Structure 1
Amino acid sequence: MTSRRLCVPEEQEPLAVELVAVVVAVLSGRPRVLTAPPPAPGIPALPAGPLEAGQPSLQAGLRSWVTSQTGRQLGYVEQLYTFADHDRGLDDTRGRRISISYLGLTTDDAPEQARAAQPGASAWHDAYALLPWEDQRGGTRLVDEVIAPQLTHWVGAAGSPADRTARRHRCDLTFGRGGHAWLPDLALQRYELLYEVGLVPEAREAWRLPDDDLVPGEPMIGDHRRILATGLARLRAKIQYRPVVFELMPAAFTLGELQGCVEALAGQALHKQNFRRLVEQQALVEETGSVSSGTGGRPARLYRFRRSVLDERQVAGTKLPALRTR
């Protein structure tokens, strides 16, 4: 008689599944991200919650968490990315956390005073306070004077000439240096590089640089700033080939307001005439017959999005010039 040894599986590490929302609006010319009441004082967090057995779907679970934590009903939502990296975050929780993220777009019609953050409340947080190097509209001083020298030091610390060459190429491509153009939709790659070099407080303590050497930018709880960078990159890429920017616009708007929204998302200034020419060529908008008197000068014509565009062309070739700068 042959005996068999029973193989007892080793104890598995705890596994948690989290649903995370990157909800974006453009307010006062700045991209804002919706934050939930923070679990840690002073550290903003995206709306998030665990996947529960009673939730009928991932998206339904996400919508439920966003509503319960912020009081908002989500409109446009699409799945973003699933993160399953081991040991990433600011907390000491052992085990692996799988974060299933979604991108949501909305407008916010609340008066300005109602948007002010109250202690323990949800709020609209300036995305460029969290990722300040992503806003290139005011120039490249932060990258030139703060980030680039730190990256140069990291390149020089490589163990071999080949590694130094690879690091230099990666830094140049990611941050638009060495003859490479700045590409707005590389927002995630830029954050990941800063994380790897140890220039953000979320980096693991084993390689994180001293506080005085960290780049400016508010940290977020856990891996939420990485998820925000992913959402920003997706949105910047998507406005080049789909008219999702209109999910962030009011029903009626001026062409100047539309351009300002695209510039805020792209983090770059656009050529005014080129922008308007492409909008007209794409036939994305139509006049409402009314004008706006709040432009500070001559009344500007009001426009609305032609939603029939979605049926006429199935969205093919419908884009805005997010990467065409002045």
Structure 2
Amino acid sequence: MEPTATEPGDIPPLRIGLNAAIVAVTNHTPNILAVPASPGQGAADGLPFGPFDPARQRTFEASLRASVESQTALNLGYVEQLYTFGDRGRQMRSDEQGAHMVSVGYLALTRADAENPEALHATGARWRDWYELFPWEDWRDGRPGMLDAAILPRLLPWAVEKADQPQTPSRMARIRLAFGLNDFPWDEERVLERYELLYEAGLLTEAVADQRVSSTGLTVPLGRAMRFDHRRIAATAVQRLRAKIKYRPVIFELMPPDFTLTQLQTTVEAISGRHLHKQNFRRLVEGAELVEPTGAASSATGGRPAALYKFRAKILEERPAPGLRLGGRG
């Protein structure tokens, strides 16, 4: 018997919200902007959010920019849409009564030196190191110890719990691919896959809040939790940005107008979560023709003055996909 079509009156009302994962890099640290919770939302921070009101704003992006400015005093520069988040239960409400909130997530990039820190601080918004949210993603000083001490000892037994049930791909195959086990390399772009595996296995605080598990069973939480599914949105943003810097020059949205090659390298390392060999990186930048010297130098390091560079905007007219195609680990 074929199911009958749902009548329009049977569909619960939907509301559209807009979330922004706003990224800036300060002192070699990649940050995501977090805003404090409203009354009744618990203690966890979240991403800037605002409802879409078509009576006041013509487009999602215009509405997002207005909401962010009112909440954080930031005027956004680069913005791109990520994904639509609409799973049932995403707001941690057990009754699921009333309108269901569907959120359109955005990635936004800004320069730390372009903001008004006093105005930002007055709003209650704070920059959070994104490796506080995803500590297993930071490989700049080598393989994170928590992978072997806390994550894999719990993930691997979970993977075989239902190994006799058909799953395509299997839990174990997903873990091998996402976490780089056996012959698979660690792929820094699989941020969302790793987050979702940890959530499904009940190892994240959000899984407890969503009543998927009663406890993570961990003595120390795996990273800083966010309210609702905002950490999932943030993971989507980190993944998008790590991939995007390889084929578009978006990294320069995070750089000051003039910068040294060392500053550029540390910013790329901060975003990608990996150490890069200095000489290989410089050859990569020079070969990509993404920068040009300004003729000036910086003595901010206190040592030998370092040449200053700027983004070579002409590259956008010369190549369809200019970016930093990172190779193997340095």
TM-score using structure 1 length: 0.89
> 1 CA distance for matches of 2:7 and 2:246?
53
Given candidates 74, 79, 89, the residue that maps to 1:77 is 79
- Aligned pair in 2 of structure 1 residues 36, 130: CA closer, same or farther (>3 Å)? same
**Residue deviations 1:254-299, cap 9 Å, x none?**
0000000000000111111111001101111111111111124211
> 2 CA distance for matches of 1:165 and 1:124?
37
Q: What is the match of residue 195 of structure 1?
A: 199
> 2 CA distance for matches of 1:41 and 1:217?
17
Q: Is the 8 A contact 2:42 2:227 kept in 1?
A: no
Say whether 1:260 aligns with 2:266: yes
DSSP-derived class of the 1:311 partner? helix
DSSP-derived class of the 2:194 partner? helix
Say whether 1:109 aligns with 2:113: yes
Deviates more, 1:261-270 or 1:175-184: 175-184
> 2 CA distance for matches of 1:231 and 1:165?
24
Say whether 1:56 aligns with 2:62: no
**Residue deviations 1:242-261, cap 9 Å, x none?**
11100000001000000000
Count how many residue pairs are aligned between Structure 1 and Structure 2.
Answer: 317
Deviation at 1:205, TM superposition (A): 1.4
Given candidates 230, 234, 244, the residue that maps to 2:240 is 234
TM-score using structure 2 length: 0.88
Q: What is the match of residue 3 of structure 1?
A: none
- Aligned pair in 2 of structure 1 residues 68, 323: CA closer, same or farther (>3 Å)? farther
Q: Is the 8 A contact 1:78 1:103 kept in 2?
A: yes
Deviates more, 1:196-205 or 1:82-91: 82-91
Deviation at 1:133, TM superposition (A): 1.0
Given candidates 119, 125, 129, the residue that maps to 1:126 is 129
Q: What is the match of residue 3 of structure 2?
A: none
- Aligned pair in 2 of structure 1 residues 211, 150: CA closer, same or farther (>3 Å)? closer
Given candidates 235, 244, 250, the residue that maps to 1:244 is 250
Q: Which runs of 5+ in 1 are unaligned?
A: 1-6
- Aligned pair in 2 of structure 1 residues 174, 86: CA closer, same or farther (>3 Å)? same
Q: What is the match of residue 289 of structure 1?
A: 295
Aligned residues with identical type, % of pairs: 44
> 2 CA distance for matches of 1:148 and 1:197?
11
Q: What is the match of residue 100 of structure 1?
A: 104
- Aligned pair in 2 of structure 1 residues 149, 163: CA closer, same or farther (>3 Å)? farther
Which amino acid is the alignment partner of residue 84 of structure 1? G
Deviation at 1:209, TM superposition (A): 3.6
Give the CA RMSD over aligned residues: 2.5
> 2 CA distance for matches of 1:9 and 1:79?
29
> 1 CA distance for matches of 2:26 and 2:115?
11
> 1 CA distance for matches of 2:262 and 2:255?
12
